Amino acid sequence: MSKKKKLSYSLLYYLVIAILLIQIYPVVWLMLSSFKSSIELTTQPFAMPSSWSFENYASVFRESSLLLYIKNTAIVTFTCLALIVFLSATAGFALVKMINRLNSKLLLFFTIGIMIPIQVTLIPLFIMYKDYGLLNSYAALILPQVGFALPLSILIFTSFYRYVPGELLEAAVIDGCNIFQVFFRIVSPLTVNTTITVASINFIFIWNDFVFSNTFTNDKAYKTIAVGLQEFIGAFGATDWGQTFAAISISIIPIIVTYLFLNKYVMAGVSDGAVKG
């Protein structure tokens, strides 16, 4: 390898390291700050904690409703993921493998949903939910999340199904499988990476959702963690930053764990839909 290429690779390597540090630093600083007292955060915001105290975390669980918000977020998130994966997987299969002259138009109809901004639907949805008595309920949070997640999820599944050999499905039909057996016994086991990709992407967005939760719920019993963090802002904007940072750290742990453990499956799922074979 020539010196010029070695220099280029070295520069690229250090650039990647620099970008990585820039991305990681805010998360590391947040977690370190969660172990500091309010006074230490004011006087030494960028220094290491003088003592590793878990008082902020204890106060968060003792004085706030964080566990309730985590429970609500988990209920909404996992219910949404189950519906999104099932509906997008079945719809994608039907659009690609069940021959119909309207399939291309239906797929276009679904994918148009990607272009619709969430914000323009808030007022119509609020009025609709109010008329049907769905405000301050899990349904008010689950339905829009599922609806807005389906277009991209269906697109990901259809990209994968196009490369599933038709001969495989024909052989299953000849062996006596009906359409449901073909899907659940033959096709579904092949979509593990794609399913994890869809679930992981939507998990991050739904867990962090603030817009729908803030718009459709004002009852504490149904608030999710993104909205519940506002509880740490007191009168006149006074904030206990130690407790706030501890609560934020707790709220992002599931996202970090999901990314670290499922990242390779997400990459595999994306490549399955992009490269034949």
- Does the residue 46 lie in any domain? no
- Does the residue 255 lie in any domain? yes
> Which has the higher per-residue pLDDT, 196 or 47?
196
User: Is the pTM of the predicted complex or chain greater than 0.75?
Assistant: yes
Are residues 94 and 14 part of one domain? no
> Which has the higher per-residue pLDDT, 100 or 81?
81
- Does the residue 244 lie in any domain? yes
What pLDDT score does 274 carry?
45
Q: Which amino acid is at 98?
A: M
- Does the residue 172 lie in any domain? yes
Are residues 93 and 11 part of one domain? no
What pLDDT score does 260 carry?
77
- Domain CATH for 166: 1.10.3720.10
pLDDT at 275 over 80: no
130-165 pLDDT per residue, tens? 999 999 999 999 999 999 999 999 999 998 888 888
Are residues 171 and 100 part of one domain? yes
- Does the residue 121 lie in any domain? yes
* Number of domains forming the structure of the chain: 2
- Does the residue 222 lie in any domain? yes
- Does the residue 200 lie in any domain? yes
pLDDT at 235 over 50: no
Structural domain of 16: 3-34
pLDDT range class, residue 276, cuts 50, 70, 90: very low
Are residues 24 and 154 part of one domain? no
What pLDDT score does 236 carry?
44
Measured between alpha carbons, how far is 47 from 16 in angstroms, rounded to an integer? 25
Are residues 238 and 124 part of one domain? yes
- Does the residue 192 lie in any domain? yes
> Which has the higher per-residue pLDDT, 257 or 135?
135
